[in-house]
Amino acid sequence: MAAPISPSPLAASASSCSFLASTFVPASRWHCGIKSSGIAGELGNQTRNQLLFTRIGSSGAVAMAGTDVRTVLVTGAGGRTGHLAFQKLKERSDQFLARGLVRSEESKQKIGGGENVYIGDVTKPDSITPAFEGIDALIIVTSAVPKMKPGYDPSKGGRPEFYFEDGGYPEQVDWLGQKAQIDAAKSVGVKQIVVVGSMGGTNENHPLNSLGNGKILIWKRKAEQYLADSGVPYTIVRAGGLVDKDGGKRELIVGKDDELLATDTKSVPRADVAEVTIQALLLEEAKDKAFDLASKPEGEGSPTTDFKSLFSQVTAKF
């Protein structure tokens, strides 16, 4: 999708393309299917963490399994936000063994390839099973992505029209696809699932729901409720308008029930969203919570570094 121009969640008309780019999490909805040959992928979670052995991670660093290194799978790792989360996990090789699930061989190579990257289709649950074997936690960054119908001429005014490709409708990807991921993660006994969603889900008439008649926020919300009811510890991050800016330079803001959409702070850098997903795995204060996430403009306030305090502000479970 095009780079974001306007993060306004209420934009409609010729700026809809910009709005989509800044609001959606345009991550791949697919995942990988090459089984890891490493010993860590073959052993159960409890046994693996009790053993004292070393494994060379994809970043080249040596990780000690005896220090409670957790294997974390990022689905949608070929997308912009998912890729950032995957990279952040690899940079913390003393804490995590990173796995990525992507849409295609091309996406796999784009994020570095290797045995820790799997290929599969979340709408075909059997194809994603190998990627989930032996994982301790899951970060879901998958989403259906609308495409603009050809022929739109902004000089003539009006609104562009959008559609979803066959097999890629929100009901298939954001509901059934996420459900399949949650079920697969639960079946292997994961300790936590983090989902990256979107603000706007409290409004059935939100403009995003009309795109391609996909009702995407409705289906995302249904999957989030399924996760909250699953019994697996969870964190639901409903991001505002996503912007391609450097992370770690803004003060982050959390909210609930789309209250932030009525303010001037509706956007957030993808890199900061990715960082929040990693911090959610590290801090108990993030567990069993759901929140909206945005940021102040760069230069206003102080960049967020105390994520424990940020998560402690959240009281909503859904």
- Catalytic residue numbers read 198
Paired with 289 in beta bridges are: 235
Task: Round to whole Å and give the CA distance between 57 and 206.
Answer: 43
- Whole-angstrom distance, CA of residue 302 vs CA of residue 169: 40
The secondary structure of 82-139 as a DSSP string is: HHHHHHHHHHTTTTEEEEEEESSHHHHHHTT-STTEEEEETTSHHHHHHHHTT-SEEE
235-270 burial string, b = 16+ CB within 10 Å, else e?
bbbbbbbbbebebeebbbbbbbebebbeeebbbbbb
What is the distance of C-alpha 308 from the center of its chain? Answer: 20
d(C-alpha 90, C-alpha 111), whole Å: 11
Closest CA to 218 of 226, 209, 227: 209
Which residue in 119, 110, 148, 134 sits closest to 29, CA to CA?
Answer: 119
CA torsion angle 160 164 166 172 (round to 10): -160
d(CA 150, CA 153): 9
